[in-house]
Structure 1
Amino acid sequence: KEKAAAFSNDRLLDMDFSKIDNIISGLEEEMHMAAKELDFEKAAFIRDEITKIKNIANIQND
């Protein structure tokens, strides 16, 4: 949770796309591990954070 929540909107808007992609990839791995360990609440939280980050990245792209 802490890793995903650590990225504020402003901080993400200042990052380049390759850095954001790396963050998303790491979170996706973390999400899959949580699901594999049957920690579905954590996996869902991470999924939601990934969605937020992708939405912010799309705003940056506009």
Structure 2
Amino acid sequence: MQQAIIGFHLDEDHHWVAELACGHGQHVRHNPPWQNRPWVITEQGRQEKLGLLLDCKKCEETGSMA
């Protein structure tokens, strides 16, 4: 189920987590060559991704939103 990014925060390991409209979070790491997301390392890049839809794995597992 796709959900909009409404914010970001750093987890306890200092990895960026996208805060989704459903209340869940999803890591958005920049870890080349496996994950190429250079936008996540700058404030401007993260701000530009607000509203972007991501597949929420937790919503898909439960079949509903939070």
Give the TM-score category using the shorter length.
under 0.3
Greater RCO, 1 or 2 (C-alpha within 8 Å, sep 6+)? 1
Between Structure 1 and Structure 2, the one with more strand by share is 2
The two structures have a TM-score, normalised by structure 2, of 0.25
Between Structure 1 and Structure 2, the one with more helix by share is 1
The two structures have a TM-score, normalised by structure 1, of 0.26
